[in-house]
Amino acid sequence: MQSNTQLGVLTDRFGRVARDLRVSLTDRCNLRCEYCMPAEGLEWLPTENTLSDEEILRLIRIGIEMLGIEQVRFTGGEPLLRRSLEQIVSQTKAMTTHLGAAPQISITSNGLGLDKRAEALAKAGVSRANISLDSLDQQRYAAVARRDRLADALRGIEAADRAGMSPIKINAVAMKGINEDDIVELLAFCLDHGYHLRFIEHMPLGPAHSWKRDQLLTQADILERLSTKFELTPSSKPRGSAPAELWNVAASADHPAGDVGVIASVTNPFCDDCDRTRITADGQIRTCLFATTETDLRGPLRTGASDEELATIWMGATEQKQAGHGMGRPDFQPPTRTMSRIGG
C-alpha cells in the first residue's frame, strides 16, 4: 500500500534542507558541448536501465508529498528528447507540496526544438526555463557545441519567452581562449531582450582529463571583462540558496538596466546553502554534482519497495551529503559521470 503522508524532510548532517529536486529525464543530447561530453559522444544508457514515466512520477510524488520538495527542475541530457515531457510536467503540476500549493516547475534545455513545444510545456506547467547559450557567434557556438545550431537555439529562447516562461535565464559556460570574447556581447543581448544571464565557471564535469584549473576563466575574470562596458554594483537581493551571485547593471544609452549573475562553483562555491537533490535518468540519488557516490532507488523501486521505504532510503542518502564538493582539496577527484549523465 502506498502512502501520501509527510514522512520527513531531506536534511543533511549540516542542517541543509533539500527543497529543490533536479530530475534527469535522459542522458541523451543532440549537442556535443565540449565541457559536457567528448566529441564522439557517449554510449547512451540502455532504455531498460532508465526510469519509465511511471517510475519518475512515483519518485517525484514521494519527494513532493512525503519529503518536502517544493520545486522540480527537469534536466538531461536534453529533456526535450523525452517525448512524454509534457505529460510528466502536467502530472507533476497536479501534485501538492507541504505548502498546500503546486510545485514550481522549470526546465534546463539547450533550446533545440523548444520553438515547437514551448507553448504546450507552458500550458502543462513549466513556468521558468534555463537555456544554454555559450556564444552569439555562429562559428564559436558551433565550435563549443560541435553542432551548427545557433539559429535553432535562438528560436527556442524566443519561443519560451512568447510562451510566458519567466524569467528566461541564459546559461553561458565561460571558457578561457574559447568564448571569453562573447562575454560582453552576451550580456548586451540579454539586457536588450529582458533575459537574465548567468555565467558559469567551467567545472570538471566533462570528458576525462579535459579540465585544467590554470585554464579557468574565474568569476573575477568575468567581472573584469564586463566592467569594461557595463557599470556593475553588487545586488542587495538576498542570495538564499541560489547558485549565482548577482550584480545590478546600470542603464546606459546603449542598453536598459538589468542584472547579471556568476555561478562560481570553482572559486566561490555556494555549498553552505545548497538545497538541491538529484535523481539521474537511471534512478540514482546524487546529493551533489561532484559526488563520487550514489544511492540506488531504481533497484528497490523495481523489487517492490513501498513509498515509505523509498523515502527512507532517500533521507538516508541526504543525511550523508558532504559539507562541500572539495574541489580545493589536493585529493579532489571529479565524478566519473559526465554532466550529461548527472543532470544539471
Model confidence over 206-234: pLDDT tens digits? 666 566 777 789 999 999 999 999 999 99
Least-confidence region, from 14-28, 284-298, 325-339? 325-339
d(CA 315, CA 55): 18
CB 54 within 8 A of CB 60: no
For residues 108 and 207, which has the higher predicted lDDT (pLDDT)? 108
Q: Which strands, in side-by-side order, build the sheet including 284-286? A: 232-234, 245-249, 258-263, 196-201, 168-174, 128-132, 104-109, 71-75, 20-24, 276-279, 284-286, 295-296
Q: Which three cell numbers stand for residue 73?
A: 527542475
Model confidence over 239-272: pLDDT tens digits? 888 889 999 999 999 999 999 999 998 888 888 9
Sequence spans of domains, the chain: 10-342
Residue 310 has pLDDT above 70, yes or no: yes
Dmax over CA atoms of the chain, in Å, equals 64
Phi/psi class of residue 279: alpha, beta or left (left: φ > 0; alpha: ψ in -120 to 50)?
beta
For residues 324 and 284, which has the higher predicted lDDT (pLDDT)? 284
Percent pLDDT > 70 in the chain is 95
Q: Tell me the average pLDDT across 194-199.
A: 98
State residue 286's pLDDT score: 94
State residue 4's pLDDT score: 56
CB 109 within 8 A of CB 29: no
Model confidence over 135-188: pLDDT tens digits? 999 999 999 999 999 999 999 999 999 999 999 999 999 999 999 999 999 999
State residue 328's pLDDT score: 66
**Complete DSSP assignment for 30-86:** S---TTTS-TT--PPPPGGGSPPHHHHHHHHHHHHHHH---EEEEESS-GGG-TTHH
Residue 1 has pLDDT above 50, yes or no: no
Please list the alpha-helical segments (H only) found in 180-283: 183-193, 219-226
Q: Which three cell numbers stand for residue 306?
A: 513501498
Please list the alpha-helical segments (H only) found in 112-248: 114-124, 138-145, 150-162, 183-193, 219-226
State residue 209's pLDDT score: 59
Q: Model-level pTM greater than 0.85?
A: yes
State residue 330's pLDDT score: 66
State residue 267's pLDDT score: 85
The CATH class given to the 10-342 domain equals alpha beta
